[in-house]
């Protein structure tokens, strides 16, 4: 019974695979039937044409079935005049009843909606396609070419085959000619040019291409040229060779429009990305491509290359037809630029966390030590909040305030939290990988990875190395002053046991915390991008209320503070809320959700062991220490991997570049393992010499 329903579901969501005998299909070609029946007949014929070739039909292993069977059908129709007449009459009736304006001007192009609305429409359309208008020519294309791979064999189709099909349809009874379809093409040219000019003169795009006079905009000049061509084509009913100079001028204006689009995208990458604007620009780019496609077809018609132009037009329309339903394409086209902007910001911030000299190394160690000391206070406050037995939401809010306040205090004190580094240093590495593509910077990049590893170890050692003794000192002082332990025995035993790497879900929780660390860095980059796009610092500088109340330099000081610190503030606050509210969500949903942060866990275990010294055993402590090691590795590793994966995709780093750098890194690790822990004098000199050599003109001639 279960298999039966699985089969029914497959039939529901998969396309039809109905097959018919060719003789039966040709005998059922009835031009007098309703349009819906004729389209169903076309779909059945397409299914037969696209079915795999039999051994008798196949002349080579790589030959596609559709071109072979199309030739076979044409040869059969030459011998069977009755079938030929029915086929021609049916084809003529379709072009009599169908219109192509929607196909040329709208099909495959997103509507002018927001990104979220467009994505929702694509999801619904994927599972429940919207019925097309009864006379829409795109319905014929969808029935004939239901697979996006059909465009490939259409491009390889013999022009003589296309010419023969065209003559066959033109011989049908009551064939209306191509004038109506030609007029639809002309109308589509005008519609596309008008929409392109409307978007090109909108404030969001106009201000980002230099705010020129409208008459100087390539989008407006394009509309003027297309309007002249449309008038001439409507008057003559065709396109003439005398129109070629005007067609070439339209092609040139399209190139100028694309250059303006590149300028607008470059502006966004420098000054902040907005999803809605990116979507409108992508829409504009697609309309320019469609106008270019129709213009190429008109050019082919004017130069007596109609069949070749028709083949190219048909293949591209089929691609657009299926791209309209591609949900992943909507994500890729709209998220890639935002991702690039966010990771570039994170990469710039990540440079702060990379140490390359011994003085930088010691500074990182001291900065991390300060972060470790502050973490002990966070751990103590966490235990106090837990003992209050407040309602779940109030407790989560108190924990979030504790975490976020501690992280913000670290930022203000210029201390370092080791777990924040990976999500920042990974984009910095990805940026260098993209800049080093095609050059001889492989070993220099391997040295950069060594710097990142060494910096991360220094931060971890500083955090944990000071968190543990400080926690023990605080626990001893509390017990000495109050006469009782800081943690209760029950809470202490639970804290130690909860870090057992195999008896609990500590490994999963540590990986989950790594994901949260990465997400917080993305949120910080997104907010920084939004502030840059909205020009908030510039607005603050010009804010007269601030100047009137706090002085002339108040706006400038606020703008500088915001530009330097907003990403850190957002990252710290979001991380604090994540660490607090993920367990809260797990509690209200009945899910075993917790977080494991290596520095917080180290301080908590140290206090717990001191508080319940007579009840804990060495095996318990050993397992807890091993759990902390796993927690650190997963906190760092997961956040670094996710950040590096997103950054390398956004920076479009080639896989061979990553493999080459990895080989150099492993060689360096094998030859100088100690240099990954401490910056020796030799490792500093070699790293500096390699960076200089990689930047020299002679070395740049070589490849990775």
Q: Cα separation of 284 and 71, whole Å? A: 39
Confidence of residue 11 (pLDDT cuts 50, 70, 90): very low
Q: Please indicate whether residue 539 or residue 187 has the higher confidence score (pLDDT).
A: 187
Average pLDDT of the segment spanning 15-22: 56
Q: Cα separation of 228 and 253, whole Å? A: 14
The pTM (predicted TM-score) of the whole model is 0.64
Residue 368, in any domain of the structure:
yes
CA proximity to 453, closest of 432, 425, 494, 433: 425
Q: Cα separation of 427 and 339, whole Å? A: 11
Structural domain ending residue among the three candidates 298, 325, 352 = 325
Q: What is the pLDDT of residue 375?
A: 93
Can you give the residue range of the structural domain that contains 256? Answer: 178-325
Tell me if 414 sits within 8 A of 565, measured CB to CB.
no
Sign of CA dihedral 319, 321, 324, 326: negative
Token couple for 610: 């001191």
Same domain, 350 and 307: no
Tens of pLDDT, residues 63-111 = 567 888 898 899 988 888 889 999 999 999 998 899 999 889 988 776 6
Same domain, 265 and 350: no
Same domain, 602 and 674: yes
Q: What is the pLDDT of residue 182?
A: 92
Q: What is the pLDDT of residue 528?
A: 80
Q: Is 99 helix (H, G, I), strand (E, B) or coil?
A: strand
Q: What is the DSSP string of 121-142?
A: HHHHHHHSPPPPPTTBHHHHHH
Confidence of residue 692 (pLDDT cuts 50, 70, 90): very low
Task: Supply the CATH number for residue 399's domain.
Answer: 1.20.1080.10
Residue 558, in any domain of the structure:
yes
Identify the bridge partners of residue 136 per DSSP, sorted by sequence position.
99
Q: What is the pLDDT of residue 174?
A: 81
Tens of pLDDT, residues 355-370 = 777 888 888 889 989 9
Q: Please indicate whether residue 417 or residue 702 has the higher confidence score (pLDDT).
A: 417
| Torsions phi, psi for 136 (to 5 deg) | -90, 120
Same domain, 506 and 655: yes
Tell me if 485 sits within 8 A of 601, measured CB to CB.
no
Same domain, 321 and 349: no
Q: What is the DSSP letter of 420?
A: G
Helices (DSSP H) in 590-617: which residue ranges? Answer: 598-611
Tens of pLDDT, residues 22-47 = 888 888 888 899 988 898 899 898 88
Token couple for 514: 């790594």
290 has a pLDDT exceeding 60: yes
Q: Is 35 helix (H, G, I), strand (E, B) or coil?
A: helix
Q: What is the pLDDT of residue 265?
A: 76
Q: Cα separation of 224 and 214, whole Å? A: 12
Q: Please indicate whether residue 118 or residue 62 has the higher confidence score (pLDDT).
A: 118
Q: What is the pLDDT of residue 650?
A: 66
Kindly give, in sequence order, each residue whose CB lies less than 8 Å from that of residue 14, ignoring residues fewer than 6 positions away: none
User: CA angle, 83 as apex, 82 and 88 as ends, to 5°?
Assistant: 100
* Burial of 280 from C-beta contacts in 10 A (0-12 / 13-18 / 19+): buried
Q: What is the pLDDT of residue 17?
A: 43
Q: Cα separation of 170 and 95, whole Å? A: 10
Q: Please indicate whether residue 212 or residue 94 has the higher confidence score (pLDDT).
A: 94
Same domain, 407 and 294: no
Average pLDDT of the segment spanning 137-165: 88
Q: Is 10 helix (H, G, I), strand (E, B) or coil?
A: helix
Structural domain ending residue among the three candidates 271, 292, 325 = 325
Q: Is 556 helix (H, G, I), strand (E, B) or coil?
A: helix
Structural domain ending residue among the three candidates 269, 293, 325 = 325
Tell me if 52 sits within 8 A of 62, measured CB to CB.
no
Give 210's Cβ-side CA count (13 Å radius).
Answer: 11
Q: Cα separation of 446 and 667, whole Å? A: 9
Q: Cα separation of 218 and 232, whole Å? A: 21
Residue 64, in any domain of the structure:
no
Q: Which of 146-150, 292-296, 566-570, 688-692 has the lowest mean pLDDT?
A: 688-692
Q: What is the DSSP letter of 703?
A: -
Tell me if 172 sits within 8 A of 91, measured CB to CB.
yes
* Burial of 679 from C-beta contacts in 10 A (0-12 / 13-18 / 19+): buried
Tell me if 639 sits within 8 A of 350, measured CB to CB.
no
Q: What is the pLDDT of residue 515?
A: 92
Same domain, 442 and 564: yes
Torsion of CA 297, 299, 300, 301, to 10 degrees: 90
Q: What is the pLDDT of residue 116?
A: 58
Q: Is 32 helix (H, G, I), strand (E, B) or coil?
A: coil
Residue carrying structure tokens 């060779």: 241
Residue 451, in any domain of the structure:
yes
Burial letters for 93-132: b for 16+ Cβ neighbours within 10 Å, e otherwise? bbbbbbbbbbbbbbbbbbeeeebeebbeebeeeeeeeeee
560 has a pLDDT exceeding 90: no
Q: What is the pLDDT of residue 405?
A: 93
Q: Cα separation of 594 and 601, whole Å? A: 12
Residue 669, in any domain of the structure:
yes
Tens of pLDDT, residues 663-687 = 877 887 787 777 777 777 665 555 5
Burial letters for 17-49: b for 16+ Cβ neighbours within 10 Å, e otherwise? eeeeeeeebbebbebeeebeebbebbbbbbbbb
Percent helix, strand and coil across the chain, each to the nearest 5: 75, 0, 25
CA proximity to 87, closest of 28, 143, 13: 28
How distant, in Å, are the alpha carbons of 92, 188, 211, 481 from that of 218? Answer: 41, 19, 12, 79
Looking at mean pLDDT, say which of 198-212, 525-539, 587-601, 684-698 comes out highest.
Answer: 587-601
Q: Is 200 helix (H, G, I), strand (E, B) or coil?
A: helix
Give 217's Cβ-side CA count (13 Å radius).
Answer: 24
Identify the bridge partners of residue 99 per DSSP, sorted by sequence position.
136
Q: How many domains does the chain have?
A: 2
Residue 470, in any domain of the structure:
yes
187 has a pLDDT exceeding 80: yes
Average pLDDT of the segment spanning 298-307: 92
CA proximity to 517, closest of 409, 396, 598, 606: 598
Kindly give, in sequence order, each residue whose CB lies less than 8 Å from that of residue 202, ignoring residues fewer than 6 positions away: 280
Q: What is the pLDDT of residue 354?
A: 78
Same domain, 515 and 648: yes
Tell me if 244 sits within 8 A of 303, measured CB to CB.
yes
Residue 474, in any domain of the structure:
yes
Same domain, 537 and 478: yes
Residue 648, in any domain of the structure:
yes
703 has a pLDDT exceeding 50: no
Average pLDDT of the segment spanning 565-573: 87
Sign of CA dihedral 507, 511, 517, 519: negative
Same domain, 384 and 476: yes
CA proximity to 41, closest of 129, 144, 132: 144
Same domain, 467 and 578: yes
Same domain, 515 and 641: yes
Tens of pLDDT, residues 377-391 = 999 999 899 888 889
Q: What is the pLDDT of residue 374?
A: 93
Q: Cα separation of 38 and 554, whole Å? A: 74
């Amino acid at each position: 019974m279960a298999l039966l329903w699985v089969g029914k579901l497959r039939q529901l969501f998969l396309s039809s695979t109905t097959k018919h005998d060719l003789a039966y299909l040709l005998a059922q070609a009835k031009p007098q039937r309703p349009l819906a029946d004729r389209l169903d007949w076309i779909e059945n014929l397409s299914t037969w044409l696209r079915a795999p070739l039999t051994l008798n039909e196949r002349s080579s292993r790589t030959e596609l079935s559709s071109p072979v069977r199309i030739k076979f059908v044409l040869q059969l129709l030459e011998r069977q005049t009755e079938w030929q007449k029915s086929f021609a009459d049916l084809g003529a009736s379709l072009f009599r009843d169908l219109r192509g304006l929607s196909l040329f001007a709208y099909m495959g192009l997103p509507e002018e909606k927001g990104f979220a609305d467009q994505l929702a429409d694509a999801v619904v359309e994927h599972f429940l396609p919207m019925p097309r208008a009864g006379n829409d020519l795109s319905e014929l294309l969808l029935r004939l070419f239901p697979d996006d791979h059909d465009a490939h064999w259409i491009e390889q189709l013999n022009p003589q085959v296309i010419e023969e099909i065209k003559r066959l349809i033109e011989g049908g009874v009551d064939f209306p000619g191509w004038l109506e379809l030609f007029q639809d093409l002309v109308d589509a040219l005008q519609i596309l040019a008008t929409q392109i000019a409307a978007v090109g003169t909108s404030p969001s795009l106009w201000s980002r291409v230099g705010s020129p006079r409208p008459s100087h905009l390539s989008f407006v000049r394009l509309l003027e040229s297309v309007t002249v061509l449309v008038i001439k084509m409507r008057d003559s009913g065709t396109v003439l060779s005398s129109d070629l100079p005007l067609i070439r001028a339209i092609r040139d204006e399209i190139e100028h429009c694309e250059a303006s689009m590149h300028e607008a995208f470059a502006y966004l990458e420098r000054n902040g990305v907005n999803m809605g604007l990116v979507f409108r620009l992508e829409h504009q780019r697609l309309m320019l491509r469609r106008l270019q496609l129709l213009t190429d077809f008109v050019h082919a018609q004017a130069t007596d290359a109609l069949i070749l132009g028709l083949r190219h037009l048909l293949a591209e329309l089929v691609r657009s037809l299926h791209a309209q339903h591609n949900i992943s394409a909507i994500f890729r086209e709209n998220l890639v630029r935002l991702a690039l902007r966010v990771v570039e910001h994170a990469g710039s911030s990540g440079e702060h966390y990379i140490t390359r000299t011994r003085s930088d190394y010691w500074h990182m160690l001291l900065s991390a030590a300060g972060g470790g000391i502050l973490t002990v206070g966070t751990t103590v406050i966490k235990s106090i909040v837990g003992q209050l037995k407040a309602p779940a939401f109030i407790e989560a809010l108190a924990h979030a305030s504790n975490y976020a306040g501690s992280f913000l205090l670290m930022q203000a004190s210029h201390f370092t939290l080791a777990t924040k580094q990976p999500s920042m240093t990974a984009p910095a590495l990805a940026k260098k990988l993209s800049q080093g593509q095609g050059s001889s910077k492989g070993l220099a990049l391997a040295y950069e990875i060594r710097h990142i590893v060494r910096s991360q170890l220094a931060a971890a050692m500083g955090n944990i190395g000071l968190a543990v003794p400080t926690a023990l000192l605080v626990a001893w002082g509390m017990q000495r002053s109050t006469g009782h332990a800081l943690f209760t025995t029950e809470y202490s035993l639970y804290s130690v046991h909860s870090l057992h790497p195999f008896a609990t879900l500590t490994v999963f929780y540590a990986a989950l915390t790594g994901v949260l660390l990465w997400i917080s860095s993305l949120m910080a980059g997104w907010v920084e991008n939004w502030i840059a796009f909205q020009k908030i610092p510039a607005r603050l500088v010009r804010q007269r209320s601030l100047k009137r109340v706090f002085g002339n330099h108040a706006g400038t000081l606020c703008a500088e503070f915001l530009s330097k610190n907003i990403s850190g503030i957002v990252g710290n606050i979001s991380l604090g809320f994540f660490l607090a509210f993920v367990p809260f969500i797990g509690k209200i949903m009945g899910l075993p959700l917790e977080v494991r942060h290596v520095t917080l866990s180290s301080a908590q275990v140290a206090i717990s062991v001191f508080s319940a010294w007579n009840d804990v055993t060495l095996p318990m402590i050993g397992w807890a220490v091993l759990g902390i090691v796993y927690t650190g590795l997963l906190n760092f590793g997961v956040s670094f991997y996710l950040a590096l994966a997103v950054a390398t995709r956004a920076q479009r780093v080639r896989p061979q570049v990553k493999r080459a750098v990895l080989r150099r890194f492993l060689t360096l690790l094998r030859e100088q393992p100690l240099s990954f822990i401490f910056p020796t004098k030799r490792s500093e000199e070699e790293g500096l010499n390699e960076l200089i050599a990689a930047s020299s003109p002679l070395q740049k001639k070589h490849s990775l």
